[in-house]
Chain A
Amino acid sequence: MQRDLVVRAQRGDLDAFSSLTAGTTDRLFGAARLILRDDEQAADAVQDALLQAWLDVRGLRDPDRFDAWLHRLLVRSCYRAAKRGRQRAVVELALDSTLEPTTPDPQRAVAVRDQLDRGFRRLSPEQRAVIVLRHYLGLSLAESAEVLAIPLGTMQSRLSRATQAMRAALDADERPAVGAVEVAR
């Protein structure tokens, strides 16, 4: 069914393209929002990716790879949007961490969420993309590698580095810190 829609879209059928993408837009927006941490930029990136897909769908040789291709377009749109969004935000670090990672739920859940949020914000958009593909969109390592157009081994190492960076950020967050750090939004 999806293949048929892709083929029809390649023949210029916008209705087919609409059907093809209607069900995935929410998920794409969610991924873009996670990568960019900004609603407006995310909307821009998704729109950019969808319009790019419509413009270039004829260049897609294998209709079965539409999803991966669309994800690739989205990630690239996110990179471009991040590049355009030159604003930088200043985030105050906690002066005295009160997080207790071993605290049972529900306090632990709240603390973990807070930690993850702050840790994730400190990742670069490229690092966020790796994590979002794998852990939000649920793509396999091979699928993620295809989306990012990188070899599987590179994907593995990037994911590992992104995860380590986030954990390092969390570890640092648990230590008392003073001052402000500039982070890329």
Chain B
Amino acid sequence: MNPDAQFERDLEQWLQSEAPASAPAGFHATVIDRARTLRQRPGWTTTPTVRRFGRGRGITLLAAALLLTGGALAAGSGLLRLPAVIPPMPSPSVVAVATGSPDATSPSPSGSATPSASPIPVAGPGGVWIWTGTMVTPGAEKAVRLLDGRVLVVDGASVAGDATDWYDPATGTPPSAKLYDPATGTWTATGTWTPPAMRIAFGVSTATLLSDGRVLITGDSTELYDPATGTWTATAKPIGEPGSQGTATLLRDGKVLVTWSGTLFPGEGTAQAGTAQLYDPASGTWHTTGKMITPRSRPVATLLSDGRVLVAGGDTRNDWTDTAEIYDPATESWTRIANTHNAIGPAGAALATQLPDGRVQVYSTRGSEVYDPTTGVWTAGPKPTKFLPHPWALLSDGTVLTDDPDHQKVTDPAAVCTAAVFDPRTGSFTTTPPMLRCGAWPSFTPLLDGTVLQVVGMDCNGGVNGGCVSAGAAELYVPAGVPLPALPAFPSPAPPVHPSPTPVPTPLPPADGPVPPNARRWTVTVDNQSSQPATMVVVDGTAGKLVGSATPNVVPAGTTMKVTFLLPADGGWIDANLRPGEGGGLLTPDQVGIPGKMVITPEGDTTWVGPATP
């Protein structure tokens, strides 16, 4: 055997023996459970149905070509990044009832009261979503209700695109903070803090309301916010680089117990998982306070009535865990307690609330259970009939508002986003009317009047450079029977603007120049019959990166012109952006060169005119 062949054989044998035979036990199941918490991004559908373009639509040359026969014209889109047709908004479910006291903590059942001369409108069955003011700056990573009922919403620093994990003030987005006033439904900016440059951007890991009314945030930076003055003050950093998935619990003595995720999962810091630290607002200092017995990421943590802290579930390396432990501030020690009956998912997929009698109710996909601190016993309760996703908010009647668990089963989740009300007594879910705005990573914050503030952190529909942009929409959920807040009618906020990809340098030279060996040139007619200019870009269909060029790259409104594309030899996606970051169509290598033309109709539909591909 010649040396090269021998080397390859040795190499292959070594690779096979060197690689582990299998992933860690339970690994795949853990990933699937985590996937269950994620809402799929809308994209190209696989059915080549004729579909009117809505916002964020595009052309699919393949689908279009298959639909067409010689010279026929068809609306060709298999893509739907946002609903093609926005579903009609249901009429708000509102019932006018008389109530002597619109006490949100004891809402009048809809329809159960006798109308009077001065009816107070309350939400009907299922509740209702209403617009409130739009945030003054987009982005909402954490929300905290202050002692006076206002809500502080903070958004951490973010890096530019996904090219780097490091925050650079020159290219990244700085953090922001804003206050929501439920009395007026309006927002005001309330300063910000300066994150350290050139370190991993964790955003905001925890945000905790302190006993004195201030708010402690950790993450990119460690800061105290004082609502009385509207100012931010840097305080001592935690020990080490704790990561992004901590839990923070306010203790009776005013200190904050923070557990850190450590390095269990990507981007979650370099501290060892299971590390716990105490923050003392009085001295502004941190100190390590023992290590959890079972290292875990994002457990549920709840203050018990005796001042101790129950920590249960969460992610361990291989799976959700059924272990639980209690932290005692008096001794600064952790004690293992009985295991739960079912593994408890990580925070976001599980939640814990304290019952009036001091017991703790924990909900997770695999079951609900009640922990009694006096006996140390877990008692299994009804299992939720569906997965319990995040976010969640405890309503005044003991039910829980959550994101709709059925999203994962909806063919086009972008079309309608609903929430659901989970009843822990029965394990059942009741779907709410559709939210007014779909978005990724929303947060729910219960307000003092019984309503819930929802802010949408990100909008991930469309956008060729990373997909998601910060969003600023905010709306209120008024649960059934809760009086509608006396707010002015707020208009629907404008959809977030996705960054235009055109300023990004393209890796290929201008399309009308020499053709590099790794590229192909294709000239087609683009007829823009719409009233907006169309930006033509070539992107990688998987990563959304610019991989080619178009000359000219803008087709003005009402103009027909030849556009020359320079595409990678192995194909690319042609996007026709009527608005920045929207639209798109896949072009595979065997489709380069097919005759025809693109037409962007007055309605914004993008169509393909030409014969079918061979």
Contact = CB atoms under 8 A, between A and B. Distances in A.
Contact-residue bracket for chain B: 35 or more
Interface in B311-332: 317
A22 B38 contact: no
B408 A12 contact: yes
B15 interface: yes
Contact of B43 (A17, A44, A60, A153): A60
A72 interface: yes
Given A7-B46, A84-B266, A135-B11, A26 B41 contact: no
A34 B18 contact: yes
A149 B570 CA distance: 8
Nearest to A149: B540
A175 interface: no
B112 interface: no
B265 interface: yes
Interface in A48-64: 48, 50-51, 54-63
Contacts of B7: 163, 167
A100 interface: no
B411 A12 contact: yes
Interface stretch (B26-34, B67-75, B97-105): B26-34
Question: What's the dominant secondary structure at chain B's contact region?
Answer: loop
Nearest to B32: A18
A55 B408 contact: no
B23 A14 contact: no
A169 interface: no
Contacts of B263: 40
A135 B15 contact: yes
B442 to A, nearest CB: 16
Contacts of B46: 7, 10, 61, 63
B19 interface: yes
A145 B569 CA distance: 12
A33 B19 contact: yes
B44 A11 contact: no
Contacts of A28: 23
Contacts of B24: 29, 39, 43
B403 to A, nearest CB: 14
Interface string B4-21: 000110111011111111
Nearest to B440: A55
A31 to B, nearest CB: 7
A30 B20 contact: yes
A128 B377 CA distance: 51
B23 A56 contact: no
Contacts of B267: 84
A135 B14 CA distance: 10
Chief secondary structure at chain A's binding surface? helix
A5 interface: no
B19 A60 contact: no
B42 interface: yes
B60 interface: yes
Interface string B369-407: 000000000000000000000000000000000000001
A76 interface: yes
Contacts of B45: 10, 58
Given A30-B20, A58-B40, A135-B8, A151 B266 contact: no
A87 to B, nearest CB: 9
A54 B38 contact: yes
Nearest to B544: A59
Given A50-B35, A56-B41, A117 B18 contact: yes
Nearest to B78: A61
Contacts of A132: 15
Given A46-B23, A80-B266, A146-B570, A22 B15 contact: no
B20 A33 contact: yes
Nearest to A18: B32
Contacts of A58: 40-45
24 contacts: A12-B408, A12-B409, A12-B411, A22-B28, A25-B23, A25-B27, A26-B23, A29-B20, A29-B22, A29-B23, A30-B20, A33-B19, A46-B27, A47-B27, A55-B38, A57-B43, A59-B44, A69-B542, A117-B14, A136-B12, A146-B570, A149-B542, A166-B11, A167-B7
Among all A-B residue pairs, the 3 with the closest Cβ atoms: A59-B43, A30-B19, A58-B43
Interface of A: 7, 10-14, 17-18, 21-22, 25-26, 28-31, 33-34, 39-40, 43-48, 50-51, 54-63, 69, 72-73, 76, 80-81, 83-84, 112-113, 116-117, 120, 131-132, 135-136, 145-146, 149-151, 153-154, 163, 166-167
Given A59-B43, A151-B570, 10 more contacts: A12-B407, A13-B409, A14-B36, A18-B32, A29-B20, A34-B19, A43-B317, A44-B265, A149-B570, A150-B570
